[in-house]
A and B are shown apart, each in its own frame.
Chain A
């Protein structure tokens, strides 16, 4: 396993600390809490998309479809079959994994164009089923989703946020393990040269398919978390526009960089909150962001930050070295 740099450890510690502490101060404000919970959900979606594109060289234009399956499957199970939340969650995740596996089966053998098309197709079909079926409440959606209970009491927003944060950490850990494992190295070999990789005995399709199915399951998980926070779902939340938004989150941070995936999700997810008056420009900006980042910063917005941190680190170690040298001189003198 690759050794994690001290710098990365410090950054993770700071970000995690902020993620734990800040919401404590805003726990009374429902709006802020919803924004924070949503950001957590976006990190799950964006980081898994980053894993899919950046490490396995695949694409999904239908993540919002899995997001929708997760939301509806868990809600229906909890409301119609009176199952506990956790059962609904596990069922939704497993269902999305299986659907991803079946859908990815023919598509992963081909190139990303086919996968893009069939996932966009899945999104459209799910959208149509949700709007035209009775069991999904049709176009008006499902209201009155019960709140998640903790020790018999309905969860507060802060508790729900921490639950989301735990799932975010689990997802990030799984992504990290996939990247830094046999699977990750196999994926890297496939990305570098698929023919050589398969000659080395790597079963390309198996690995690609596995990652695709895992990412689909993570999309489902995000859907569950979304549905039980908002407690009202309708078809409009799961359109292809949402899939494009998720794609933006996965890309702009920097493909093939987990930290970039998190940063991209936070930036793209928080953007609408800063641009509330400009909400009609939202999708235009997302489209433009993808194009401009790929054109001018193919390594993502995390890259200039990394360069900046490199310089900072150099400056600090340089200054420390100088001080040491000066001290040593003093001692000598």
Chain B
């Protein structure tokens, strides 16, 4: 029983990471109908920048975090303006392929800059696990991640429901043309949406640095799995991203303990296939009518 509870604790922490990343996919897809395949590599850039500022340049953590978020957002905005926006005018499928190319490019270009070694990121509150009972423990960094996830989720929901910009984003997601007739600046909303998506990925990157080794390949699998979590939950649906992220985290933690740890990376994809068969619109997704 203790092993099971321990797995659930680890699964929730892992689920928190997936949730943040799934939300960063979802906000882009929900608002602009864009699936940025390179989001996992944006996360990687955030982590590397956080590592550079915090460890290499030994800045205070908060300063390193803010700098990493700002620069990561600037990178994604630059990519959006220079590459994504012109391609989107041609076709949304071309854009999806371009984001795949961008992911390959960023991952390998980063490796040329940072090398293929992996570095360890110091834990913020020490790496000694906190003992809950005799056989149950949790790493402080996992608590940090869960808290950060909760704060981000609450902040995002308040932003989307209570601020004018957030409401404008909802309007764009329902009907971009009608929204622009109502005086919503589409270009500005695009910029804000990309900024939020980049910031969430960078925050996830900096805070998960201590849990994973810092390397240029860290974003590839994580990004793919988070996208799967978002799709499973119902792509474009924020609540779905949370449900998908948490379920994926729990399944991976339980599956790697009880079934096989060698096949840990396969669970996400097997779940995706099952859900696509049974409920193609995702767990919380609504069936779209215009699709044929």
Contact = CB atoms under 8 A, between A and B. Distances in A.
Contact of B100 (A57, A197, A290): A290
B90 A298 contact: yes
A114 interface: yes
A330 interface: no
Contacts of A248: 101
B112 A106 contact: no
A284 interface: yes
Contacts of A53: 93, 97
Contacts, number: 132
Contact of B266 (A107, A124, A197, A291): A124
Contact-size category for A:
35 or more
Contact of A117 (B107, B231, B292): B231
A281 interface: yes
A150 B98 CA distance: 44
B78 to A, nearest CB: 13
A286 to B, nearest CB: 6
Interface in B85-112: 86-87, 90-91, 93-98, 100-109, 112
B18 interface: no
B266 to A, nearest CB: 5
Given A118-B273, A244-B104, A291-B105, A284 B112 contact: yes
A283 B108 contact: yes
Contacts of A194: 292
B48 interface: no
Contacts of B83: 291, 295
Interface string A103-139: 1011101111110111011101100100010000000
B85 to A, nearest CB: 10
B268 interface: yes
A103 B96 CA distance: 21
Given A110-B280, A117-B272, A118-B272, A294 B101 contact: yes
Please report whether the interface of chain B is mostly helix, strand, loop or mixed according to DSSP.
helix
A230 interface: no
Could you say which of A121, A288, A295 has the most chain B C-beta atoms within 10 Å of its C-beta? A121
B45 interface: no
A132 B96 contact: no
B104 A287 contact: yes
Contacts of B277: 105-106
Chain A interface, DSSP helix/strand/loop, else mixed: helix
B272 A132 contact: no
A57 B292 CA distance: 14
A120 B101 contact: no
B114 interface: no
Contacts of B104: 241, 244, 283-284, 286-287, 290
Contact of A61 (B100, B106, B228, B270): B100
B98 A125 contact: no
A112 B266 contact: no
B207 to A, nearest CB: 25
A287 B108 contact: yes
A251 B224 CA distance: 22
B88 to A, nearest CB: 11
Interface string A256-293: 00000000000000000000000011011011111100
B105 A110 contact: no
Contacts of B221: 124
B202 interface: no
B179 to A, nearest CB: 22
Nearest to B275: A106
Given A121-B228, A122-B269, A195-B290, A112 B98 contact: no
B174 interface: no
B158 interface: no
A116 B36 CA distance: 12
B101 A106 contact: no
Contact of B87 (A103, A105, A241, A294): A294
11 contacts: A53-B97, A106-B273, A114-B231, A117-B272, A124-B265, A125-B270, A240-B220, A244-B104, A288-B105, A294-B90, A295-B98
Given A128-B265, A247-B100, A294-B97, 10 more contacts: A106-B276, A110-B280, A116-B37, A121-B273, A128-B266, A251-B97, A284-B105, A288-B105, A295-B83, A298-B90
Interface of A: 53, 57, 59, 61, 103, 105-107, 109-114, 116-118, 120-122, 124-125, 128, 132, 194-195, 197-198, 204, 240-241, 244, 247-248, 251, 255, 280-281, 283-284, 286-291, 294-295, 298
